[in-house]
Structure 1
Amino acid sequence: MKSAVFRVAILALVVSLAGCKKEKEETDTTKVPGFDISSLDSTAKACEDFDSYANGGWKKKNPIPGTESRWGAFNVLDKENKEVRLKSIIAEIAALKDRKKGTEEQQIADYYQSFLDTATIEKRGLAPLKPYLDKINAVSSLKELAALAGELQKIGVTGAFGFGVEGDLKNSKINALYQGQGGLSLGEKSYYERTDSSTVNVRKEFVSHVDKMFSLAAFTDATPGKTILDFETKLAKHQLSNVELRDPNKTYNKMSFEDFGKLLPDFDTKTFADKQDIKADTLIVQNKAYLQNLNALLKATPLATLKLYTKWQLLSRFAGYLPKSFDQEDFRFFSTVMRGTKQQRARTERAIRSTDGLLGMPLGKLFSKKYFPEEDKKKVAEMIENVRTVYGERIDKLTWMGDSTKAKAHKKLKAFTYKIGYPDKWKDYSSIEIAPDKLFENVISASLYGHKEAVEKIGKEVDKKEWGMTPQTVNAYYNPLNNEVVFPAGILQPPFYNRNADDAINYGGIIAVIGHEFTHGFDDQGSQFDDEGNLKNWWTASDRANFDKLTKKYIEYFNGIEALPGFNINGALTIGENVADLGGLTLAYYALQKSLEGKEEPAPIDGFNWKQRFFLGWAQVWHMNTTNEALRNQIQTDPHAPAKDRINGPLPHLKEFQAAFGCTPGTKMALADSAKIVIW
């Protein structure tokens, strides 16, 4: 079931994401440099543009591959994890004889084969979609459409709104049913509102894309692209922006299912839910006004248009599993037009990624066993506790927070739990039917499994041991409902964590990442949840006002950064990640300083002292080249600031950085003390 509600705070947008750690048996003899000095650009000045100074050489040597829209540390490591390590695992499984049906080996090998079986995919054409298309064509009323929409939701075909299941924000121990907005093909309402030439062109290309897809399918509908764009534009008008969606107090509206139905009197919400096997007396509605406006829109829209829209959502959802012509056109618009990616990956590489997307946990079990040594897990646990200690010391020194709130902040910090590497228990996926020659049915089977799993959680106790990412994922996250930080094995490799690097590089890398996730517990969203993970105010009014004043200044600071002509960073959208970056850097720096107490100061390496290398470690994590298209998309849809600004953005606020590189007042990387923002 696709959730449309609250999300965990993650480190980075999961794109194809860096490093090059070898297999365990190779790491004893093969060392990855802590920081490669060839990444530097000596013509740039550290105090004017630290990203260019620290990463200019790397950027020149690492242009964006044609198969990518961005290329940086995350991407490189993600490619290594998937196209080398997972590929090796899948190859070993595929070579096994007599794989028993229902085993993870059978599922992985047969799904991989089904994705590569292009001859069968071409031969079948649109036949797999025909049963669903027939049902759409047969719809004769809005009530019948509601029933069909419910059925389609089970297989991941979204509509104007949908359901999700996760912990109740105000009772985090119990899973609740949520309702959230959806149905925008372009992802965010700003794409339907902006009038700049690049966004106007995206809308124009979208119309052409829909027309082309309908033509390939031999559908006879007139002007489908224009009709769908017009409908989605009306839909977008009533939706909350991605900034408004950040406030959980505004989007938490608990009500009876009966009252929910009254918001959509002309849409049969009961049948819509029944078709999804959902049984719930209450649910949490994201925005009541949206549903009321949606009801009016659905009632006023011709049924033929709603059926056309449903047909489009179905076609778009499964385009990547259909014959080559559909797959290529889907790639052309969503990857090339929207993100600037020039060419598709090879089919074998895409097969690996598709298998990972569908059977990520079974693959993750094998990945963890082969590539994540137990000693690394113990080392990361020690790092986490070091960050916890320093965070407590930082809280004690805050001048803008009173003793009462500090005591509760300490309580929350003490209650933080963490997961490292991989789950302690693994789910049973044996009920997912996978065949080597039925790609479409394989995807349907996995979708139905995920939907059933989610529905069965409603009203039941939250499983605190469950993971929200697979072990091979190059990312990390904070979950406010569990008050936990999670670090998959996939990110615990160079350049984030390098067992062969000096402490300064690792503290600027993985320790800053750990500090980043800890700080999410105290950012604009996480700070609204208490030590038990419940949406509950634990602040005094004056302390909250002080915190809001600081974050408002930081929002305004990032609002002033122009990432591309006419496209400034949205400070309100990125505030959570920006606060986490600033906090993570601060915590990591002082954790490093604390680790050196009573010891001889480390000798410089490659001419850089430990303070300078700490910041080089941070810059190395975020080195990245990005297409303009991807950058525009990121600014409008992503709560993360562009990579360059995750480096240059927080550093001018850190006196520690200016001291390390001798930055004087008046340089771009040295703000006046009165302009510096220190939150945590």
Structure 2
Amino acid sequence: MKIATLRYSVLALSMMAAGCKKESEDNADLKVPGFELSSIDSSFKACDDFDSYANGGWKKKNPIPGTESRWGAFNVLDKENKEVRLKGIIEEIASKKDHKTGSEEQQIADYYHSFLDTATIEKRGLSPLKPYLDKIEDVKSLEDLAKVTGELQKTGVSSVIGFYVDGDLRNSKMNALYQGQDGLSLGERSYYERTDSSTVKVRKEFLGHVDKMFSLAGFGEANPGKTVLDFETRLAKIQLTNVELRDNVKTYNKMAFADFQKLTPAFDLDAFADKQDIKADTIIVQNKLYLQNLNTLLKSTPLPILKLYTKWQLLTRFAGYLPKSIDQENFRFYSTVMRGTKQQRARTERAIRSTDGLLGMPLGKLFSKKYFPEEDKKKVSEMIENVRTVYGERIDKLKWMSDSTKEKAHQKLKAFTYKIGYPDKWKNYTAITIKDDKLFENVIEASLFEHEEQVKKIGKEVDKKEWFMTPQTVNAYYNPSNNEIVFPAGILQPPFYNRDADDAINYGGIIAVIGHEFTHGFDDQGSQFDYEGNLKNWWTAADRANFDKLTKRYIDYFSGIEALPGFKVNGALTIGENVADLGGLTLAYYALEKSLQGKDEPKPIDGFNWKQRFFLSWAQVWHMNTTDEALRNQIQTDPHSPAKERINGPMPHLKEFQAAWNCGAGSKMILPDSARIVIW
């Protein structure tokens, strides 16, 4: 069962990690500076390259650690949360004995121990996979394959079709079953189509990687890498691109489940769903043409190839929980080749992160209690309302939107809800059986638990209180179906939120992030949802045309930025996040300006006035060093622009930036008024 992805975060989940001055439990009261002057590189001009000016010094002092593919504000804070704070919590629990069976403490301790028990993992070898491998080997027909792949999906093994459960986009109060395309090991169609040398090299490395993994596993098939790559290339050609997947209207095709089954007569979708315990009268299909073309592909592909592909998906899914040789080869390809990470984290650090990934909410309960004071929750609530007020004022001043649509926009803005810090109600994990010497089975148990939790939601009312990030996560998100913004405790720390810093720093940091998430409700996708979270048009035709014209100009603007030689930013893929960044900065700036009304002008700090410190704070949040491999991967797969472009990209469109830094004619980051884009 796949997890729904129609939630827009400030950062891609695959990148989650963060940046601020290091803080340990021994110096928890240490005041973190609002902005480190040593981060500045004055050999650059602020008006020509603001990222290099504001962050050049930081970048020189902070090379990418060997265990990372990128290193920035998000990474540092994530490391602090996991490898200091969570580590302390987990190791304290793990050091104790006689935990009550089924308790969260017992689950945390025993899972952590099972991950660290490498002797047992090596001794068991691939024996945990044998029951699943035997089922694949026994497949004699496409009908058999449908049953086996359906059963495997319960454990998180990918296939060519994926199911997930989420709120019905046209009836946000009820959960519905969705179907989506799946099954590409390289993650995105462009990896199978691009002809540049770096992408060709990735495909060549992938072919060798599959060969090596089959060899290490003792599988006897000849040329498995070529077989898998050839099949996935054909699969990629019939899938929607990541840009096409952004169209919520075209990818919403609700139909009777009986009609859904008819789209792939060669592949028994009823058996596929039945093995996943899925019972539904209706389903929302992503792309009917994909399913029809998939039917043709599966019929024309010899069964031994489909079995080999399924065996590959099983092996790659669990590689990180198998003996060291397989684990390391999996790391070599997906981390080193794909993202440029030079070395794997120490086993203890990986154990902490794996425990967090499996039991994030039970750990989040302990994390929140220890590291998120209640007064911060109150302060963030006040900031959110401040942004809401300013957004309303901005809507009133729009010249491109009619009064009737403005009224609907205000209705949606007023209906925004928010969650801060941690859930009011915690999910019960006692049904998961965890043993201290059975890592593989522990992962299976957790996967089956999550699958069952999803299946139980089909046709039931949406739980508006549910969280889709753990409290310790360094991120935030907007959920269009709930029309809500969510800020976990993990991100409400420096440099995003710093209770000791001046207002300009916090407005350029956390309030710009808050504004970013608000703006997601009105970006190219979020604007398709009404105040109740339903996919429903609330625009006049003329207003929508005006909005689309503005976003098209912004798409073209970002598409002209070359992040690496031969790799330009995909403006169409990143438009939602780029609009949210531009909106977030605008809202935060005017919220700050509004907060200063009737007060004395703040005095400069370290030689910078409040306007300059606002923009320095934004740059500080996004400072980042990135490997070329990770950058290429991000450009092809990630709806977020690279960090440098997130800093520099919006600035030429903000007259406030030009005024703050006294940018003169001829400055590289200045645009004429006619070229500036103001959306919200």
Whether TM exceeds 0.5 here: the answer is yes
Residue type of the alignment partner of 1:7 = L
Residue 61 of structure 1 pairs with residue 61 of structure 2:
yes
Correspondence 1:144 to 2:144: yes
Cα offset for 1:184? Answer: 0.1
Whether 1:11 and 2:10 are equivalent positions in the alignment is: yes
What does residue range 9-408 of structure 1 map to in structure 2 within 5 Å?
A: 9-14=8-13, 15=15, 16-20=17-21, 22=23, 27=28, 29-408=29-408
Matched, 1:674 2:638: no
Q: Deviations over 1:315-368 (max 9, x none)?
A: 000000000000000000000000000000000000000000000000000000
* Post-superposition offset of 1:546: 0.2
- Alpha-carbon separation, structure 2, partners of 1:235 and 1:471: 37
Structure 1 counterpart of 2:19, one-letter code: A
Q: Secondary structure of the residue that 1:250 maps to in structure 2?
A: coil
Q: Could you say which residue in structure 2 is the equivalent of 1:427? A: 427
Q: Which residue of 1 aligns with 2:561?
A: 561
Distance between the aligned counterparts of 2:215 and 2:525, measured in 1?
Answer: 45
**Structure 2 contact 178–284 (Cα < 8 Å) conserved:** yes
Q: Residue by residue, what CA displacement relative to the aligned partner does 1:167-226 show, whole Å, maximum 9, x if unpaired?
A: 000000000000000000000000000000000000000000000000001111010000
- Separation of aligned partners in 2, 1:607 and 1:75: 29
- Is the contact made by 1:476 and 1:517 (CA closer than 8 Å) also made in structure 2? yes
Instruction: Note if contact 1:24-1:372 (Cα within 8 Å) is conserved in structure 2.
Output: no
Amino acid at match of 1:305: I
CA contact (8 A) 1:34 1:502 kept: yes
Alignment of 1:578-593 (within 5 A): 578-593=578-593
Q: Give distance in 1, aligned partners of 2:664 and 2:287.
A: 49
CA distance in 2, matches of 1:596, 1:6: 39
Tell me if structure 2 keeps the 8 A contact 1:21–1:494. no
Superposition pairs of residues 610-621 of structure 1, within 5 angstroms: 610-621=610-621
Q: Give, as a single letter, the amino acid of the residue that structure 1 aligns with 2:669.
A: M
List structure 1 runs of 4+ shifted beyond 3 angstroms.
20-27
Identical counterparts, % of pairs: 80
Contact 1:24 1:371 in 2 (8 A): no
CA–CA distance in structure 2, aligned partners of residues 164 and 222 of structure 1 = 34
> Residue 213 of structure 2 aligns to which amino acid in structure 1?
M
Deviation at 1:92, TM superposition (A): 1.1
- In structure 2, the residue corresponding to 1:278 is in which secondary structure? coil
Q: 1:603 maps to what in 2?
A: 603
Deviations 1:234-268, CA, capped at 9 Å, x for gaps: 00000000000001001000000111011000111
Cα deviation digits, residues 132-163 of structure 1 (max 9, x gap): 00110010000000000110000000101110
Q: CA RMSD in A?
A: 0.9
Distance (Å, rounded) in 1 between the aligned partners of 2:27 and 2:327: 39
Residue 8 of structure 1 aligns with an amino acid whose one-letter code is: R
**2: distance between equivalents of 1:382 and 1:636?**
38
State the number of aligned residues: 678
2:527 match: 527
Secondary structure (helix, strand or coil) at the match of 1:343 reads coil
> Following the alignment from structure 1 to structure 2, what is the Cα–Cα distance between the partners of residues 609 and 252?
49
Give the distance between the partners of 2:128 and 2:94, measured in 1 at CA: 26
Which AA in structure 2 matches 1:468? F
User: 2:678 and 2:10 mapped to 1: Cα distance?
Assistant: 20
How far the C-alpha of 1:96 sits from its partner, in A, is 2.3
1:382-420 per-residue CA deviation (whole Å, 9 max, x = no partner) reads 000000000000000000000000000000000000000
Q: TM-score, normalised by structure 1?
A: 0.99
C-alpha displacement of 1:7: 1.7
The residue type equivalent to 1:409 in the other structure is A
* Offset from partner CA, 1:254-290 (integer Å, 9 cap, x none): 0001110110001111111110000001000000000
Distance of 1:224 and 1:22 partners within structure 2: 48
- Confirm or deny: 8 A CA contact 1:160 1:182 kept in the other structure: yes
Measured in 2, the distance between the counterparts of 1:376 and 1:628 equals 38
Contact 2:22 2:76 (8 Å CA) reproduced: no
State the alpha-carbon separation in 2 of the partners of residues 622 and 468 from structure 1.
23
Whichever residue aligns with residue 603 of structure 1, its letter is K
1:477 counterpart = 2:477: yes
Provide Cα deviations, 1:415-462, integer angstroms capped at 9, x if missing partner: 000000000000100010100000000000000000000000000000
State the distance in 2 between where 1:388 and 1:26 align: 35
Q: In 1, distance between residues paired with 2:518 and 2:21?
A: 26
Contact 2:24–2:84, Cα closer than 8 Å, also in 1: no
Whether contact under 8 Å (1:175, 1:458) holds in the other structure is yes
Tell me the amino acid that sits aligned with residue 437 of structure 2: D
TM-fit CA distance, 1:91? 1.2
Question: Are the equivalent residues in 1 in contact too, given 2:367–2:471 (CA < 8 A)?
Answer: yes
Provide the rounded CA distance (Å) in 2 between the counterparts of 1:30 and 1:356: 26
Q: Answer whether contact 1:89 1:366 (CA < 8 A) is retained.
A: yes
- CA distance in structure 2 between the aligned counterparts of 1:531 and 1:102, rounded to whole angstroms: 41
- Aligned residue identity for 1:529: F
- Displacement after TM superposition at 1:6 (Å): 4.5
**Distance in 2 between residues matched to 1:13 and 1:77, nearest whole Å:** 15
> What letter is aligned with 2:52?
S
SS at match of 2:249: helix
SS of the residue 2:262 aligns to? helix
The structural deviation recorded for 1:24 is 8.8
User: Is the partner of 2:485 in helix, strand or coil?
Assistant: strand
State the Cα distance separating 1:463 from its structure 2 match.
0.2
Aligned residue in 2 for 1:491? 491
Shift of 1:97: 2.9
Displacement after TM superposition at 1:23 (Å)? 7.2
Query: Which residue number corresponds to residue 632 of structure 2?
Result: 632
Displacement of 1:526? 0.2
The answer (yes or no) to whether the contact 1:23–1:371 under 8 Å persists in 2 is no
Shift of 1:664: 1.7
Worse overlay, 87-96 or 412-421: 87-96
**How far 1:667 moved relative to its partner?**
1.2
Indicate conservation of the 8 Å contact 2:6/2:480, yes or no.
no
- Flag structure 2 segments of 5+ consecutive residues without an equivalent: none
Task: Please say if residues 20 and 494 of structure 1, whose CA atoms lie closer than 8 Å, have aligned partners that are also in contact.
Answer: yes
Find the aligned partners of 1:520 and 1:153 in 2 and give their Cα distance: 31
Q: 1:356 to 1:678 in 2, by over 3 A?
A: same
Q: Is the 1:337–1:629 contact (alpha carbons within 8 Å) kept by the matching residues of 2? A: yes
1:366-385 deviations in Å (ceiling 9; x for gaps): 00000000000000000000
The CA deviation string for residues 456-476 of structure 1, in whole angstroms up to 9 with x for no partner, is: 000000000000100000000
Aligned-pair CA distance for 1:13: 1.6
Question: Does the 8 Å contact 1:172/1:532 carry over to 2?
Answer: yes
